[in-house]
Structure 1
Amino acid sequence: MKFRFIYILSLIGLVWFLSGCASSSAPTPAEGKKMNIVAAENFYGEVAKTVGGDKVNVRSILNERVMDPEDFSPTPQDAREVAGASIVIYNGIGYDAWMEKLLSASKENNHREIAVATDLLKLKKGDNPHVWYNLEMMPKLALSLADELAKMDPQNAQTYQQNAQNYVKKLDALIGKETALVQSAPIPIETTETIFEYMAKKLNLAVQTPGFAQAIFNGVDPTPEELISIEKNIKEKKIKLLIYNKNTKSQEVDRLTRLAKENGVPIVSVTEQKPANTTYISWMTDVLNKLEAALNGD
């Protein structure tokens, strides 16, 4: 009887121990070993590398050669890297649902997950997922990453915090450039997709036919009314500029860009992924420079 009682206590102790291990934070790195960080998108991977420096290995699954995140299919190698990562960063709210599936399959692995849209911006499914065009999001990610890395590797906490602060200062300059472009009164524009919505709102650029952009993003045909509206606004120059996603392949989008050229409406191209040989800051700076030129009629 006594033996049975001790045996039961031992089982309870083992269950408690295993439960504690399963719920603990990501393990600290071994001496001299780098932490592995996997980012779904390349711009999030850039932030991770900037904050982690030479203390981390970073891999971005989506790079400049992969331009359709919604339809992307991860490889077994992607799955292995996610399972073995200390930190996984992804967009969330359905934009990279494949990453959510990879994470669900590796729940037993003890890593930290950062879903940028939900964890840092408190957005929910159905909200616009293109949050990297909200420039104030990146400082949040940099500081959050520094905190997580500091918890996992306290010995180098000061390095992570300093790297994040240095990056935030550079982002502040970018945000200052954006703020200088904010229009005092709403400026009518058209967009061919919802990718630019956050920056458009910040700059006080009013999209005249938002239903068209939403339809293209959803992969459905715009309504006849939406087509008539956007064509009329272009032909009659009721808009200041047309913004389009270069990575979207659509006959309607191609036709509208041709129509804008024919009628002298400035066109500003944007991309969904960070182009090759650029940084997030240079990428967004280029977008802002093109916008400034278009708004000035250049």
Structure 2
Amino acid sequence: MRAMKNARVVGSALLAVPLALAGCAGQDRPEATTADPGTCPTEPVSVVVSVDQWGDIVSQLGGACATVDTVVASSSVDPHDFEPSPADAVKFAGAQLVVLNGGHYDEWAAKLAAGSAPEAPVVSAIQPSDDHHDHDHAEGEGHDHDHAAEGNAHVWYSPTTVVTVADAVTAELSEIAPDAADYFAERRQDFTEALTPYDDAIAAIKQAAGGRSYAATESVFDPMAAELGLADRTPAGYAASSANETDPSPADLNAFLNLLADRGVDVLIYNSQTEGSAPLQLRAAAEQAGVPVVEVTETVAPEAESFQGWQVAQLKALAGALGVPT
């Protein structure tokens, strides 16, 4: 990855791997939002966020003291391949704070921040110095890794990263607008409380289903699966082709189909935003074999009221598939 040139970069030390979001379907989400939890004691901070996975979190943290403009706020747009318009560059030019995912996921945003807002502090969930392009799976039919620590760009699925980014955003907002520091501290505490159902669902699944296995059509959910203690049995060849944005070989696809036919995993994690014959074949095979299928999305579901609401809905679906009461 090309290193970002912005003034300051803070975030979690996680690695990155590009993973395409092909043919996503969905509705647009609001691009610019200002939450309304009380009155701001000072002028709101202008914040630009690259993608909506972080945009909603920043809006909750900023409240009435931040005007948040999320550039890619639609589930029909692939952040990897997004081509910003001149109007998007203008958004960055007025930013007092920039929040990025980092890695190869939103390089376009890093470039705009460096060119249009060189003095603005940057909160990046993935630090550029820790970015690595390749993600090598272990050899064999499956692999048991902590993908969040090993290099997965979908770090909003890492609970640790969510907390780290929230803390970093609050710190930057408080430095930019010191008169609102107490306000931002309250918003940060409110966000912690809002995450309680999310934290509880994670704890329940981890306690009751840790060690259970899954396979995935894409690696989007892997950081959360690692947090839950689930064992990843996705065939290595298939996982590698998915990471490289190529079709799996017949042998790799057959290995996955056979895994499902033999009920070699407890659940199939299915990215419902990705088109393609291979994922559809895998889903059909899982359903025929009686392997539960849990749908996840890469971007915030259009019907979700918040980041945590989106995440909790998916966690509850997984808990149901694994027989875990929530």
Q: Which residue of 1 aligns with 2:283?
A: 257
Q: CA deviation at 1:176?
A: 2.6
Distance 1:222 1:276, change over 3 A: same
- Distance of 2:94 and 2:132 partners within structure 1: 27
Compute the displacement of 1:78 (Å).
Answer: 0.9
2:317 — aligned with what?
290
CA shift for structure 1 position 263:
2.1
| 1:270 to 2:280 alignment | no
Q: Tell me: CA distance 1:60–1:210, structure 2 relative to 1, closer, same or farther (3 Å).
A: farther
Sort the Cα spacing of 1:254 and 1:184 in 2 relative to 1 into closer, same or farther, 3 A.
closer
SS in 2 for 1:146: helix
Partner residue, 2:52: 42
Partner in structure 2 of residue 8 of structure 1:
none
Structure 2 counterpart SS, 1:57: strand
What is residue 113 of structure 1 aligned with on the other side?
A: 122
- Rounded to whole Å, the distance in 1 between the matches of 2:220 and 2:310 is 14
- Higher mean displacement: 132-141 or 153-162: 132-141
Residue of structure 2 in register with 1:204 after alignment: 229
Task: Structure 2 unaligned segments of length 5 or more: list them.
Answer: 1-5, 9-40, 134-150
Q: CA deviation digits over 1:229-271, x for unaligned, max 9?
A: 2111111112111111111111111111122222222111100
Instruction: Report if the CA contact (8 A) 2:53-2:300 is conserved.
Output: yes
- Please state whether the residue corresponding to 2:127 is helix, strand or coil: helix
User: After alignment, is 180-189 or 285-294 more displaced?
Assistant: 180-189
1:136 has 2:160 as partner: yes
Q: Deviations over 1:57-111 (max 9, x none)?
A: 111111234341111111111111012100111101111111122123225x421
Tell me if the contact between 1:142 and 1:168 (Cα under 8 Å) persists in the aligned partners.
Answer: no
- Contact kept, 8 Å, 1:41 with 1:90, in 2: the verdict is yes
Distance 1:292 1:185, change over 3 A: closer
Helix, strand or coil for the counterpart of 1:136? helix
Trace 1:185-196 onto structure 2 (pairs within 5 A): 186-196=211-221
SS at match of 2:314: helix
Can you give the 5+ residue segments of structure 1 that lack an aligned partner in the other structure?
Answer: 1-21, 25-30
Q: Secondary structure at the match of 1:115?
A: strand
List structure 1 segments (4+ residues) > 6 angstroms apart after TM superposition: none
Secondary structure at the counterpart of residue 195 of structure 2: helix
Amino acid of the structure 1 residue aligned with 2:124: A
CA distance in 1: counterparts of 2:237 and 2:221, whole angstroms: 14
Amino acid at match of 1:246: S
TM-score by length of 1: 0.83
Give, as a single letter, the amino acid of the residue that structure 1 aligns with 2:219: T
1:159-174 equivalence runs, <5 A: 159-174=183-198
| RMSD (Å), alpha carbons | 2.4
CA distance in structure 2 between the aligned counterparts of 1:82 and 1:212, rounded to whole angstroms: 38
Is the deviation greater in 169-178 or in 280-289? 169-178
* Counterpart residue identity of residue 57, structure 2: V
Paired amino acid for 1:82: F
Deviation at 1:207, TM superposition (A): 1.8
Which residue in the other structure is 1:76 paired with? 86
> Where is the helix percentage greater, Structure 1 or Structure 2?
1
Alpha-carbon separation, structure 2, partners of 1:68 and 1:226:
26
Q: Does 1:125 align with 2:132?
A: yes
Amino acid at match of 2:69: R
CA displacement at 1:191 relative to structure 2 = 0.4
Report % sequence identity: 27
**Higher RCO structure, 1 or 2 (CA under 8 Å, sep 6+):** 2
1:233 corresponds to which of 243, 246, 259? 259
User: Residue in 2 aligned with 1:13?
Assistant: none
